[in-house]
Amino acid sequence: MEKWENNRAWFLVLPVFVIVAFSAIIPLMTVVNYSVQDIFGPGQRVFVGAEWFKEVLADYRLHDALWRQFLFSGLVLLIEIPLGILIALAMPTRGWGVSASLVTLALPLLIPWNVIGTIWIVFTRPDIGLFGAAVNGLGIAFDHTARPLDAWVTLMLMEVWHWTPLVALLAYAGLRAIPEAYYQAAKIDGASAWATFRYIQLPKMRGVLTIAILLRFMDSFLIYAEPFVLTGGGPGNSTTFLSIYLVKVAVGQFDLGPAAAFSLIYFLIILLFSWLFYQALQKVGTGEKR
Amino acid sequence: MTIQKRTIGLAIYFALLLLPIYWMLNMSLRTNADILGSFALYPHDPTLGNYIKIFTDESWYSGYINSIIYVTINTAISLFTALPAAYAFSRYHFIGDKHMFFWLLTNRMAPAAVFLLPFFQLYSTFGLIDTYIAVALAHCLFNVPLAVWILEGFMSGVPREIDETAYLDGYSFPRFFITVFLPLIRAGVGVTAFFCFMFSWVELLFARTLTVTNAKPIAATMTRTVSATGLDWGLLAAAGILTIVPGALVIWFVRNHLAKGFALGRV
């Protein structure tokens, strides 16, 4: 069914626009301003045009960080989205199990991000950490501070542990919003569990899954605190993701101009991919809807 | 048989999920020397010293109070502004609707590091530094778009015939929205409220940049456990356990809405 044509709907959107624009527009403009200037100090700045953008785009360390970032976010999506859906499907729908599952799922999400990194430092330490001690006890030499692969495995474990509940909670709420009548109809038709999932649950979850995929993509692409605390970007540069490198440029070298150019390029990459995901997911939806 | 397997799988997942949290709880009940001195599966000599320190030291517990205040303000603003906007996006065509909808989400896409300085300048211009409302407003930047997107998804799942029937029956918009529509999307409202609370609760960069002492968040206070003598793991773990509590209460309160979801029969 078509939406109703009505421009007065703008009045319903206006409060949201005002409140978001207040924090969004001026800082963005300021960063754009930084990105085309060379800043020596207060009041001393020179317009340099696209100079910083050229410099940043030619930086091979940025390219390395970018590929690492794509690999990381790709793995995150491939693991967390299916796992989250599976968990949501397995969760109980009535009784005390519902409350227990929901509260349990929420726990990792509620710990501040810097603390998550710190807790995992201890958790993976071979001498006093449960995970580190258990893995070493199995006879596997595991050290995330020395070996890049181990550092990646630890980061992925932490990331999946931390964020899969978000996907599961969204998917669960989406599943609960499907009217009982749909399931009854499927039962009468003698549909298999897979058919029910594929033709009823999955299309009905499109909205929540779109937001889950976009959220996990954006947030994992911007990940900073957890890897910074856990590995500090090392060993070597093996876990230096884009935002860790950005902070190195911005704070370490105190170069506001290049850092601002870097931020804008970073922002545009996320924007482009989110838009592509969004368009693709919209299409998938319309294809499946009758 | 399949239900059995599912339940076992879920139980294993939850056990793995709880392990790091159990380890944090374990550490929070031990002294720092004890934690660093030996590996122990459970505290042999449990002490509440870390918790007592947090509850008696004002610089610690005020962090919790500050966080709870600004997070509550933020969640309220996000929900109340996002509900009508999400309804507009799910029901109406208007000029620029699609662009506006996607633009909202772009506000979650900028890397924070370089934006902190102009943010600080903007909020000092309005004299808002170190106030609850500053942090609450700043967090709206990422929470309001999220709320609009989640709510729009749930609202679009409600057939439009329900709106039409209600209007034909003579319901005014506000009355229809509150008495008919909101109960239909309670799962969405529940999950949105929890996510707004959660993202505002764990955000550190904006909250730390915009506050000095009066509105300093707990996440910033927790970085203080790093001192000259190294990290006080026990204290940090106790503080970590306590940061989970308010959010767990929030999801406890919205759990019934989450689980009930959609019930067409009510209309």
Note the pLDDT tens digit of each residue in A97-142.
888 888 999 999 999 888 888 888 888 888 888 888 888 888 777 7
Q: A interface mutation test: which of B109, B116, B154, B218 has the most A CBs within 10 A?
A: B109
Strand bridging mode B92-93 / A4-5: parallel
Judge whether A267 is closer than 8 Å to chain B, CB to CB. yes
In a domain, A58, yes or no: no
CB atoms within 10 A of CB B55: 13
Question: Is residue A200 situated within a structural domain?
Answer: yes
A12 lies in some domain: no
B240/A115 CB distance under 8 A: yes
Residue-range domains of chain B with CATH: 1-47 (no CATH), 57-266 (1.10.3720.10)
How many domains, in total, are found in chain A? 1
CATH number (domain holding residue A230): 1.10.3720.10
**Helical (H) or strand (E) element with B100:** helix B97-106
Q: Which residues of B202-217 are buried (b: 16+ CB within 10 A; e: fewer)?
A: bbbbbbbbbbeeebbb
The boundaries of the domain holding residue A218 are 66-288
What pLDDT, on a 0 to 100 scale, did the predictor assign at position A179? Answer: 77
Is A51 domain-assigned?
no
ipTM above 0.95, yes or no: no
- The pTM assigned to this predicted structure is 0.89
Q: Which of A263-272, B38-47, B67-76, B92-101 has the lowest mean pLDDT?
A: B38-47
Residue A72 lies in a domain: yes
A70 lies in some domain = yes
pLDDT at residue A217 in the model: 93
Hey, is the C-beta of A126 within 8 angstroms of any chain B C-beta? no
CA-based nearest distance A235→chain B, Å: 22
Nearest CA in chain A to B35: A128
Q: Which of A4, A79, A102, A205 to mutate to test the interface with B (most CBs of B within 10 A)?
A: A102
Considering the domain boundaries, does residue A53 fall inside one?
no
- Is A142 a domain residue? yes
Measured CA to CA, the distance from residue A220 to residue A70 in angstroms comes to: 10
Measured in angstroms, the CA of A147 and the nearest CA of chain B are apart by 22
B96, B33 contact by CB (below 8 A): no
Which residues in chain A are closer than 8 Å to B252, comparing Cβ atoms? 99, 103
Residue B193 CB contacts under 8 Å (≥ 6 apart), including other chains = B75, B79, B250, B254
Nearest chain A residue to B140, by CA: A20
Interacting residues of B112 by C-beta distance below 8 A, sequence separation 6+: A222, A224, B205, B206
Instruction: Choose the closest CB to A112 out of B89, B157, B219.
Output: B219
B 43-72 residues with CB < 8 A to A: none
- What is the C-alpha to C-alpha distance for residues A1 and A7, in angstroms, rounded to an integer? 18
Q: Does A208 touch chain B (CB under 8 A)?
A: yes
**Residue range B233-254: mean pLDDT, rounded:** 88
> At residue B140, does pLDDT exceed 50?
yes
